[in-house]
């Protein structure tokens, strides 16, 4: 038993086993303060908003403690559940008696709203005759899935056990109603698949796994057409991934809702880790290649269309009109983490890290109190984080991701320990009956030097798998101060196998150089533009750092000297990138014959900041992709 | 009396008077065959579709000739009305007894569906209690406006007079119900404003003009919030232009529905020509500057968002995801024609011509049987014209534009004749009691030489205003073979004032050079790209003309030699642009460090065709904006 986000400790087709969050203590300057803020600021303010907007009262109405009807949008229960999940994870490493009390109160309120047969949904409580009739739009299993995930988190973290029984009763109710010889139904919004697999892992009850399999297998056969809610907006079968069975998909459906797609992928990956289904795995592998190879933002964000919050065609990745929903970035982390657990393949860790540090992290303000739903990669300055949304999926989603972060860092396999994310921390890892203490020291993401001190409970031979990031170039490995003659191959795990003794020290020295990133030429939005990247971080130019020139008019040359510099009192401490650039002075008209245009360049200095940190100061234009004058060469 | 599209012959604040369509005979090889096809193919096939889809039966149901309920979408009546309007205009210069018969039958069917109080709407007939209650979404005045416009067209063209009485009764009904001391209401979709002004012009009844003024004045005050249809999609007040009075607008509202906006502008311009309202005119002038200066495609298309079919932010003009609805292009022609009538300012004629030859004309296939609703400026080949749409506004809209084209070519003012569009034609123009026969000879849009032969009924001094297009550079004017020492200033009218004698000949020789057009640098979609233009035509690269290289990989250099060539057996005869270019061989990955990319260029030959003609052959990639390697200079 342990506090696992995804418990693959007994999954027959998973390569990696999780390390309990409770055994990982962050000691870093980047994430640790974010966890503090989560507990001290984010989760309490979010609770207040759940109250103010009636989301918790909706449960009190069901139990009769408050009079009234349902308030808000039909999937609002899920916001409460995700807050519970986030709070449960967050409390594992942060003690906060007040928050524990609030959490237990909320769980009690939720539990009281469960109906005798196990069903719980504060919207459909008022229209029980419509239960499971409108699953194309009703989000009933989606909400149920979030409750189950919250309950599992509460149980594993030990902060509040009561919800687990609610989840078991709800899970059993769903299994009883929706099954091959019962109601043939799936949910318009995937989510319950992950939850059912996790409930199976937690309970050992195979029926929950079978339900997840049934959900995956039933999808893509037009089932949802039978569950359409009259008068509701409908985007077609592709949007719901109900046009084709998942196993037959080789490409991401254009127009699919990004979060639905990524939640389904996550749930299907969970299923594969339990069943070893090869056809399903093949589909997932192909879809991953298509998604990350043609339809993902340089930030790891997914979703290029406001219309339908959807994924677009291959290479359709507009910057100003990027949707890149925070939830989709969170889901991209979740999916890639599962793919990584299934295989131990570093390419999944690369995307997990990318989405985490850029697309997802941008979703929350530095003060922990406001959120992006949409994450454009270029903007004129009007797009700002909001304290809340009517559709409030993103705030608790980014909260649960950050809260569970300690669980993403390490894994084990039969032969050793894996380090996926370099975050200064201390971990106690169970390995073949013994305990290995690891102490990681690093200034990541600002610096690529990572020192790992190893303290096995007894001298033992095993492998430490060190992730060599896909963005790295070269670097060195030292063991106990001695440089090793090994090549650090990007996007692999470097296995260091030896008999480890207490105090052994491994140093990974990965240079973090500033890279200019170019796109496939069919990304029309990025023609002759580059993105600035350093280590795992994508940078952007924000107006407030560049007075006297509109950042949309800043252009680079290949020869521009750029340098990285840590600025402590900026944005809670960030490495900025500064250097030479030019202001393009061009035409003022919308269209003009090239012959009539006099372009001129003025030398300037510019500063770029990590993308995740934009829009935390004065509003103004921002851009990730910067024109490169000599893009095509000298 | 005459067959006028917009009858400003007595409008006190209009600078220009219309010339009757019946006095303009096209003799050209470009538009004339399109008018033939309209009458022989487009309008008959469209009639069949109106029947097949139940749009005409909806009227028969009301009159009891067919049993059943309403079929389709609530604004479907308008498709029938626009077909009637198109047919009426088309028959002015094209005799077709069969079509006249069908037209009269349809008009009879429509007329029978009018209720005793004058109201007519085949959707709300079945729910009369909801009449005028849901104007935010109901399109009732929108449909009424189209009926009125159709009736005016029928009356002026003389092919079918009966509908005019239906329109008068409907107009009177609306005026009786919706007025300052009655129901304070506007329609979510502007359209009725233009119609009411035209009905006033046709009838002389001031109440119709007052209704138009009332509609314009009442808008922008949140009135529509009182008329919301429950459960219907709602995009906010800006979308409906109901957030601010029109006179207070200085910028196009971001997120406004493109067609609604342009129809409202057109109606407001009509109002200004009758009332001389200066504040309204100032708003229109400013909005025109903002629209054409920051939010219009190089094709004259408008609408950059699929979401809400809306106009985006300034410079938000994606190519692959352009919406650029055919209806918006038609409306852009309509608005600019009215602005031109109001002022005689050539800048409006420039946009009218641009939108006509490019964004609008692309809306219909060369065979006259299929249509674009959405007009992207880049595509991978899957976007194809369709024979019809559930929302079928575009097909009859482009039909009525082409049908009425002879009415757009000429105008008169108190001192002379104006030629706006150069189309080979013969016209008889009433000028100060006399008749001036004009014979225009030209191969426009393929060639910029225009010969105008003037035959006044009596020798007379007057001015012929020749439009000098905004795209022109230099050129010559010859009168009776003698070159005149005048400068041809782009985007003006050159007034040639003299005593005209029968057989006088004016030759305008405007060179049509190939231009590479650049965008304002804030058009992120067009960074380091150029569009190819020649004369009024925007060109595109289509795959079928460029075997062996993906047209999305074609790049140009400033030094590439380009030439124009007429190809008779291609696309019904077009001038193509051919020349040197390069295939960019770049990276295959989505993102890659610039240091790791080897770009190479392969010399190729390419061909570009007029944008309006794309997607008439084998499907394949297309692009308007082509990367220019040395965009920023050598």
Beta strands A554-555; A574-585: pairing state: antiparallel
Which residues does chain A have within 8 Å of residue B522's beta carbon, measured at their own beta carbons?
552
Which residues does chain A have within 8 Å of residue B590's beta carbon, measured at their own beta carbons?
292-294, 296, 315, 519-520, 523
Asked if residue A65 and residue A169 are part of one domain, the reply reads yes
Q: Identify the band that residue B634 occupies on the pLDDT scale cut at 50, 70 and 90.
A: low
Instruction: List helix spans (H) across A276-365.
Output: 278-294, 326-343, 346-354
Q: Show the CA angle centred on residue B372, arms to residues A295 and B353, nearest 5°.
A: 110
Tokens of B67: 């049993």
Which residues does chain B have within 8 Å of residue A306's beta carbon, measured at their own beta carbons?
305-307
Q: Which of B233, B515, B632 sits opposite A599 (nearest CB)?
A: B632
Is there a domain that residue B600 lies in? Answer: yes
Residues A248-257 pLDDT 10s = 999 999 999 9
The predicted pLDDT at position B586 comes to 87
Do the beta carbons of residue A336 and residue A467 sit within 8 Å? Answer: no
CATH number at residue A317: 1.50.10
What whole-number distance in Å separates Cα of residue B1 and Cα of residue A629? Answer: 60
The predicted pLDDT at position B624 comes to 98
Strand partners, A434: A431
| Of residues B415, B278, B408, B439, the one with CA closest to residue B332 | B408
Q: Which residue of B has its CA nearest to A601?
A: B632
Which residues does chain A have within 8 Å of residue B592's beta carbon, measured at their own beta carbons?
517-518
Asked if residue A286 and residue A434 are part of one domain, the reply reads no
What whole-number distance in Å separates Cα of residue A263 and Cα of residue A330? Answer: 10
What whole-number distance in Å separates Cα of residue B346 and Cα of residue B342? Answer: 11
Choose from A228, A294, A298, A591 for mutation: most chain B CBs within 10 A.
A591
The nearest CA of chain B is from the CA of A527 a distance in Å of 6
Q: Do the Cβ atoms of A591 and B525 come within 8 Å? A: no
Handedness of CA A555, A561, A563, A569 (dihedral sign): negative
Is there a domain that residue A563 lies in? Answer: yes
Do the beta carbons of residue A420 and residue A345 sit within 8 Å? Answer: no
pLDDT more than 90, % of chain A: 97
The predicted pLDDT at position B234 comes to 81
Which residues does chain B have within 8 Å of residue A296's beta carbon, measured at their own beta carbons?
590
- Residue B1 confidence (pLDDT) above 80: no
| Of residues B287, B297, B349, B340, the one with CA closest to residue B318 | B297
Given B509, B543, B566, the domain boundary residue is B509
Cis peptide before A445 (omega within 30 of 0): yes
Residues A281-335 pLDDT 10s = 999 999 999 999 999 999 999 999 999 999 999 999 999 999 999 999 999 999 9
Tally of domains in chain A: 3
DSSP code per residue over B121-134: -TTGGGGGGGTTT-
- Residue A242 confidence (pLDDT) above 80: yes
Which residues does chain A have within 8 Å of residue B552's beta carbon, measured at their own beta carbons?
521-522, 524
Asked if residue A491 and residue A433 are part of one domain, the reply reads yes
Q: What region, left, alpha or beta, does residue B580 occupy, with left being phi > 0 and alpha being psi -120 to 50 degrees?
A: beta
Tokens of A308: 């339908």
Q: Which residue of B has its CA nearest to A306?
A: B307
The predicted pLDDT at position A375 comes to 98
Q: Which residue is associated with the tokens 């890149």?
A: A324
Asked if residue A518 and residue A483 are part of one domain, the reply reads no
Is there a domain that residue A4 lies in? Answer: no
Asked if residue A436 and residue A532 are part of one domain, the reply reads no
Asked if residue A364 and residue A443 are part of one domain, the reply reads no
The predicted pLDDT at position B600 comes to 93
CATH number at residue A503: 2.60.40
In the 8-state DSSP scheme, what is residue B440?
E
Tokens of A573: 């401490």
Tokens of A577: 């990138």
Output the CA–CA distances (angstroms, integers) from residue B453 to B32, B294, B413, in the order listed. Answer: 20, 39, 19
Asked if residue A463 and residue A483 are part of one domain, the reply reads yes
Is there a domain that residue B432 lies in? Answer: yes
In the 8-state DSSP scheme, what is residue B470?
T
A402 membership: H or E segment, kind and range: helix A394-403
What whole-number distance in Å separates Cα of residue B61 and Cα of residue B51? Answer: 13
Choose from B521, B584, B627 for mutation: most chain A CBs within 10 A.
B521
Do the beta carbons of residue A362 and residue A539 sit within 8 Å? Answer: no
Return all residues near A160 (Cβ < 8 A) that are at least 6 apart. A88, A100, A103, A104, A107, A154
- Residue B26 confidence (pLDDT) above 70: yes
CA atoms in the 13 A half-sphere facing the CB of A587:
19
Q: How many other C-beta atoms can be found within 10 angstroms of the C-beta atom of residue B108?
A: 14
Q: Identify the band that residue B433 occupies on the pLDDT scale cut at 50, 70 and 90.
A: confident
- Residue A634 confidence (pLDDT) above 70: no
Return all residues near A448 (Cβ < 8 A) that are at least 6 apart. A472, A475, A508, A509, A510, A511, A512, A535
Asked if residue A564 and residue A494 are part of one domain, the reply reads no
What whole-number distance in Å separates Cα of residue B439 and Cα of residue B452? Answer: 6
Given A408, A434, A467, the domain boundary residue is A408
Given B483, B509, B535, the domain boundary residue is B509
Do the beta carbons of residue A310 and residue A451 sit within 8 Å? Answer: no
CA atoms in the 13 A half-sphere facing the CB of B143:
24
Strand partners, B479: B482, B506
Which residues does chain A have within 8 Å of residue B558's beta carbon, measured at their own beta carbons?
594
In the 8-state DSSP scheme, what is residue A39?
I
- Residue B244 confidence (pLDDT) above 90: yes
Main-chain phi, psi angles of B47, to 5 degrees:
-60, -45
What whole-number distance in Å separates Cα of residue A422 and Cα of residue B424? Answer: 74
The predicted pLDDT at position B232 comes to 75
Chain mean pLDDT for chain A: 97
Q: Strand runs (DSSP E) across B457-503, as ranges?
A: 460-468, 476-479, 482-484, 492-500
Question: SS3 of B455, please?
Answer: strand
CA atoms in the 13 A half-sphere facing the CB of B519:
29
Q: Which of A307, A527, A595 sits opposite B527 (nearest CB)?
A: A527
Chain centre distance of CA B232: 29
Which residues does chain A have within 8 Å of residue B620's beta carbon, measured at their own beta carbons?
none
Is there a domain that residue A622 lies in? Answer: yes
Q: How many residues does chain B have?
A: 634
Burial class (CB in 10 A: 0-12, 13-18, 19+), B570: middle
Choose from B228, B524, B625 for mutation: most chain A CBs within 10 A.
B524
The nearest CA of chain A is from the CA of B589 a distance in Å of 6
Q: Do the Cβ atoms of A627 and B528 come within 8 Å? A: yes
The predicted pLDDT at position B432 comes to 85
The nearest CA of chain B is from the CA of A456 a distance in Å of 39
Q: Do the Cβ atoms of B628 and A520 come within 8 Å? A: no
Average pLDDT over residues B292-305: 98
Main-chain phi, psi angles of A496, to 5 degrees:
-105, 105
What whole-number distance in Å separates Cα of residue A78 and Cα of residue B472? Answer: 61
In the 8-state DSSP scheme, what is residue B34?
H
Q: How many residues does chain A have?
A: 634
Return all residues near B268 (Cβ < 8 A) that are at least 6 apart. B193, B216, B246, B280, B283, B284
Output the CA–CA distances (angstroms, integers) from residue A267 to A214, A346, A454, B568, in the order listed. Answer: 12, 20, 35, 59
Cis peptide before B445 (omega within 30 of 0): yes
Residues A184-218 pLDDT 10s = 999 999 999 999 999 999 999 999 999 999 999 99
Asked if residue A480 and residue A401 are part of one domain, the reply reads no
Tokens of A437: 């203490």
Q: Show the CA angle centred on residue B15, arms to residues B14 and B17, nearest 5°.
A: 80
ipTM of the complex model: 0.96
What whole-number distance in Å separates Cα of residue B603 and Cα of residue A70? Answer: 67
Asked if residue A376 and residue A345 are part of one domain, the reply reads yes
| Of residues A406, A404, A450, A410, the one with CA closest to residue A429 | A410
Q: Which of B294, B305, B592 sits opposite A518 (nearest CB)?
A: B592
Is there a domain that residue A142 lies in? Answer: yes
Report how many helices (DSSP H) and strands (DSSP E) chain A contains, helices first: 15, 23
In the 8-state DSSP scheme, what is residue A617?
S
CA atoms in the 13 A half-sphere facing the CB of A558:
10
Residues B327-344 pLDDT 10s = 999 999 999 999 999 999
pLDDT more than 90, % of chain B: 97
Chain centre distance of CA A100: 25
Which residues does chain B have within 8 Å of residue A134's beta carbon, measured at their own beta carbons?
none
Is there a domain that residue B116 lies in? Answer: no
Residues A142-152 pLDDT 10s = 999 999 999 99
Average pLDDT over residues A257-275: 98
Asked if residue B521 and residue B623 are part of one domain, the reply reads yes
The predicted pLDDT at position A395 comes to 97
pLDDT more than 70, % of chain A: 100
Asked if residue A417 and residue A403 are part of one domain, the reply reads no
Q: Do the Cβ atoms of A298 and B591 come within 8 Å? A: yes
Residues A341-391 pLDDT 10s = 999 999 999 999 999 999 999 999 999 999 999 999 999 999 999 999 999
Instruction: List helix spans (H) across A76-117.
Output: 77-93, 97-112
The separation between the first and the last C-alpha atoms of chain A, rounded to the nearest angstrom, is 60
Do the beta carbons of residue A297 and residue A317 sit within 8 Å? Answer: yes
DSSP code per residue over A44-84: HHHHHHHHHTTTTHHHHHHHTSS-S---S-TTTHHHHHHHH
Residues A420-453 pLDDT 10s = 999 999 999 999 889 999 999 999 999 999 999 9
The predicted pLDDT at position A443 comes to 98
Do the beta carbons of residue A564 and residue A512 sit within 8 Å? Answer: yes
Is there a domain that residue B542 lies in? Answer: yes
Q: Show the CA angle centred on residue B268, arms to residues B266 and B269, nearest 5°.
A: 65
What whole-number distance in Å separates Cα of residue A428 and Cα of residue B402? Answer: 77
Residues A438-491 pLDDT 10s = 999 999 999 999 999 999 999 999 999 999 999 999 999 999 999 999 999 999
The predicted pLDDT at position A115 comes to 98
Chain mean pLDDT for chain B: 97
The predicted pLDDT at position A231 comes to 74
What is the three-state SS of B59-97? HHHHHCCCCCCCCCCCCCHHHHHHHHHHHHHHHHHCCCH
Q: Which residue of A has its CA nearest to B554?
A: A521
Q: How many other C-beta atoms can be found within 10 angstroms of the C-beta atom of residue B580?
A: 15
Q: Which residue is associated with the tokens 């096209």?
A: B26
Residue span of the structural domain in which B578 resides: 515-627
């Amino acid at each position: 038993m342990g506090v696992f986000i995804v418990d693959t400790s007994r999954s027959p087709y998973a390569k990696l086993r999780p390390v309990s969050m409770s055994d990982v203590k962050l000691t870093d300057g980047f994430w640790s303060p974010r966890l503090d803020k989560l507990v001290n600021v984010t989760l309490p303010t979010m609770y207040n908003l759940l109250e103010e907007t009636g989301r918790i009262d909706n449960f009190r109405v069901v139990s009769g403690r408050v009079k009234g009807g349902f308030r808000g949008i039909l999937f609002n229960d899920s916001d409460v559940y995700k807050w519970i999940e986030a709070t449960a994870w967050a409390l594992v490493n942060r003690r906060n008696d007040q928050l524990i009390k609030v959490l237990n109160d909320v769980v009690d309120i939720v539990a009281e709203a469960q109906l005798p047969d196990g069903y719980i949904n504060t919207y459909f409580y008022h229209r029980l005759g419509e239960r499971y009739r409108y699953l194309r739009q009703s989000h009933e299993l989606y909400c149920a899935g979030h409750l189950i995930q919250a309950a599992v988190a509460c149980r594993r973290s030990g902060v509040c056990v009561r919800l687990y029984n609610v989840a078991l009763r709800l899970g059993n109710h769903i299994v009883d109603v929706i099954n091959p010889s019962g109601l043939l139904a799936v949910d318009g919004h995937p989510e319950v698949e992950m939850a059912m697999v996790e409930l199976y892992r937690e309970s050992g009850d195979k029926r929950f796994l079978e339900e997840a399999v049934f959900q995956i297998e039933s999808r893509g056969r037009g089932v949802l057409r039978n569950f359409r809610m009259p008068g509701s907006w409908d985007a077609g079968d592709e949007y719901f991934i109900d046009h084709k069975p998942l196993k037959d998909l080789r490409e991401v459906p254009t127009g699919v809702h990004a979060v639905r797609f990524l939640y389904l992928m996550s749930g299907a990956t969970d299923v594969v880790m339990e069943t070893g289904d090869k056809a399903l795995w093949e589909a997932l592998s192909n879809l991953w290649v298509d998604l990350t190879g043609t339809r993902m933002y340089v930030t790891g964000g997914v979703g290029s269309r406001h219309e339908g919050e959807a994924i677009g065609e291959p290479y359709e990745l507009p910057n100003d009109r990027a949707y890149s929903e925070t939830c989709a970035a969170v889901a991209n982390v979740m999916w890639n983490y599962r793919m990584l657990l299934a295989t131990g393949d570093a390419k999944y860790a690369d995307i997990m890290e990318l989405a985490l540090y850029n697309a997802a992290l941008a979703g929350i303000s530095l003060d922990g109190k406001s959120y992006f739903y949409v994450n454009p990669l270029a903007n004129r300055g009007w797009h700002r984080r909001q304290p809340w949304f009517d559709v409030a999926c993103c705030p608790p989603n980014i909260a649960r991701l950050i809260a569970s972060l300690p669980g993403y860092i390490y894994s084990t396999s039969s032969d050793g320990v894996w380090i996926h994310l370099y975050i200064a921390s201390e971990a106690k890892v169970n390995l073949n009956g013994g305990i290995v203490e690891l102490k990681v020291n690093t200034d990541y993401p600002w610096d690529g030097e990572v020192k790992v001190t190893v303290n096995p409970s007894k001298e033992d031979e095993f492998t430490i798998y060190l992730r060599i990031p896909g963005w790295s170039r070269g670097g060195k490995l030292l063991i106990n101060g001695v440089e090793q003659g090994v090549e650090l191959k990007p996007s692999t795990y470097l296995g260091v196998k030896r008999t480890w003794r207490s105090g052994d020290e491994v140093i990974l020295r990965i240079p973090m150089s500033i890279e200019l990133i170019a796109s496939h030429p069919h990304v029309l939005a990025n023609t002759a533009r580059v993105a600035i990247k350093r280590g795992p971080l994508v940078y952007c130019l924000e107006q407030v750092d560049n007075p006297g020139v509109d950042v949309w008019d800043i252009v680079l040359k290949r020869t521009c000297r750029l340098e990285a510099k840590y600025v402590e009192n900026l944005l809670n401490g960030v490495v900025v990138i500064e250097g030479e650039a030019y202001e393009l002075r061009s035409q003022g008209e919308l269209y003009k014959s090239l012959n009539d245009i006099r372009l001129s360049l003025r030398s300037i200095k510019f500063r770029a900041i990590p993308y995740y940190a934009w829009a935390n100061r004065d509003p103004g234009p921002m851009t990730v992709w910067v024109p490169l004058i000599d893009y095509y060469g000298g």
